A and B are shown apart, each in its own frame.
Chain A
């Protein structure tokens, strides 16, 4: 039976009842995303600590993608099943802003400043027939209450 597998390792905790994005924290408190093993801190190469990022934040900005991105590299649905999607930066309070696909594709239902929460959602199919899973952010109120104007 086909399994659900993450689109990449070290991107989010999976499987998990309460998945989170994975970042890398250095001794100065700075967090990078996506996680990487080390970086230069004050001129010294430092191992980064794997940390789980906050699951909720606010929408900092967003845009939409109307046509299917060129494939490869795009590995999502095919020309027939493609649905326009939205992307944005979600500000995770006190940590950083992460770029993500948004579950709500309609720009009229998105608003800068609205509360968003992390979801791990089905994305595509890998070479072994497994369903790939990707991180995305969804309006925390399910989209309701975000209709009062983004223009």
Chain B
């Protein structure tokens, strides 16, 4: 039976592995992910009463109904940058809470070209000169934030290399990962700087893929599965004045925390748990520095403690707080619309004990965090 204070359950998850798939469209990858999620949930497509779809490259990802069946249901697109996966899941859950549906679907799908994201600065409310000057690059933020963080809290490059090496080790153990070749810390440190102090192998790359989750009223979950995963918290916060955020031409001197800090605190409060209760975490690792910073911003350690924790292997599978057990963004790449639901896919499978060689023993509480432009963070907490 569902706990009395929980109203939404995840009953099925699906993934189209991330990577490069010439000739296959983002919507076709989304179709594969949805079919796996439906099969996992044991429901047919016509049972889905509401759809939320997220994508950066596909303007109308809800057009996926053309592949799955045009059943007339409310089908909506949502986009919140790299936090899109968290938002699609939260919106599908809200549809259930509002009584709009008993069973709903969240899907994310994307297909990016190679190389850094590029667009006109006006899409983010920034002046033309900011792009002409070469400042309209999200990667500058990642380099500048970790550089300052290392200066303030005594983090050294080996800690960044350890985070990246762990990602590629976990990727090697994950049959769905894009990057499956382990790299040594030396190889990571010796690769060229893309944005000092971050080297090539400390960065994720944009790629292609899709992920999906079927949610239902928690009190109905046992009709579909004997292993429902309960949605205990989903929180989203935007940037505050003074915070160091992606693509920001100036900062006020009175600094503010990242939106991740607010989303994390609100999510723990909503779930009625704390960081010590989390068994497995998925943290936005656009780069190795982001993962290190996000460990502290999500309450898993104090600022600077990462140096010791990573040296001890605390974030490895089998460590005190395993982080990015499927290889994270570093080993899977980032199809922006799908990335957050990949985290949910991994957590649901960890909580159901399906992760084989990379299974976290007795995992009961899963935590997922997303961060992206223009300074948006989402946190999701799942439990058995």
Residue B195 at the chain A interface, CB threshold 8 Å: yes
Interface string of A139-151 (1 = CB under 8 A from B): 0000000000001
B143 touches A134 (CB 8 A): no
Picked from A74, A87, A95, the residue with its CB within 8 Å of the CB of B140 is A87
The docked-state distance in angstroms from the alpha carbon of A108 to that of B132 is: 26
Please determine whether B133 and A61 come into contact, CB atoms closer than 8 angstroms: no
Instruction: Kindly list chain B residues whose C-beta atoms are within 8 Å of the C-beta of A14.
Output: none
B115 touches A70 (CB 8 A): yes
Q: Which residue of B lies closest to A63 (CB)?
A: B143
Complex: A74 Cα to B119 Cα, angstroms? 10
List residues of B (116-153) whose CB comes within 8 Å of A's CBs. 116, 118-121, 127-129, 131-137, 139-140, 142-145, 147-148, 151
Q: Are A99 and B250 also in contact (CB < 8 A) when A65-B195, A88-B144 are?
A: yes
Q: Which 3 A-B pairs have the closest CB atoms?
A: A73-B131, A63-B143, A70-B118
What is the minimal beta-carbon distance from A111 to any residue of chain B, in angstroms? 9
Chain B residues lying within 8 Å of A66, measured Cβ to Cβ, are 192-195
Nearest residue (CB) in B for A64 is B196
Q: In A68-86, which residues have CB < 8 Å from any B CB?
A: 69-70, 72-76, 85-86
Chain B residues with a Cβ under 8 A of chain A: 115-116, 118-121, 127-129, 131-137, 139-140, 142-145, 147-148, 151, 156-157, 192-198, 244, 248-253
Which residue of A32, A67, A96, A107 contacts B253 across the interface (Cβ within 8 Å)?
A96
Known contacts A61-B147, A73-B128; A101 and B135 CB within 8 A of each other: yes
Asked whether, in the complex, the Cβ of A73 is within 8 Å of the Cβ of B120, the reply is: yes
Contact of A107 among B193, B194, B244 (CB under 8 A): B193
Given known A72-B131, A74-B132, A107-B193, contact A64–B143 (CB-CB < 8 A):
yes
Residues of A with C-beta under 8 A to B252 = 30, 96-97
A64 pairs with B133, CB closer than 8 A: no
- Asked, given contacts A69-B137, A134-B133, whether A34 binds B249 with beta carbons under 8 Å apart, the answer is yes
CB contacts (< 8 Å) of A34 on chain B: these are 127, 249-250
Contact in complex: B249, A33 (CB < 8 Å): yes
Instruction: Determine if B134 and A98 form an interchain contact, defined as CB atoms under 8 angstroms apart.
Output: no
Which residues from B are CB-within-8-Å of A91? Answer: 253
A98 touches B250 (CB 8 A): yes
10 of the cross-chain contacts (CB-CB < 8 Å) are A8-B127, A30-B252, A60-B148, A62-B196, A69-B134, A76-B134, A96-B253, A99-B251, A101-B133, A123-B133
Whether A61 pairs with B121 at a CB distance below 8 angstroms is no
Residue in B142, B192, B253 whose beta carbon sits within 8 Å of that of A95 in the complex: B253
Known contacts A74-B132, A74-B134: A89-B144 contact under CB 8 Å: yes
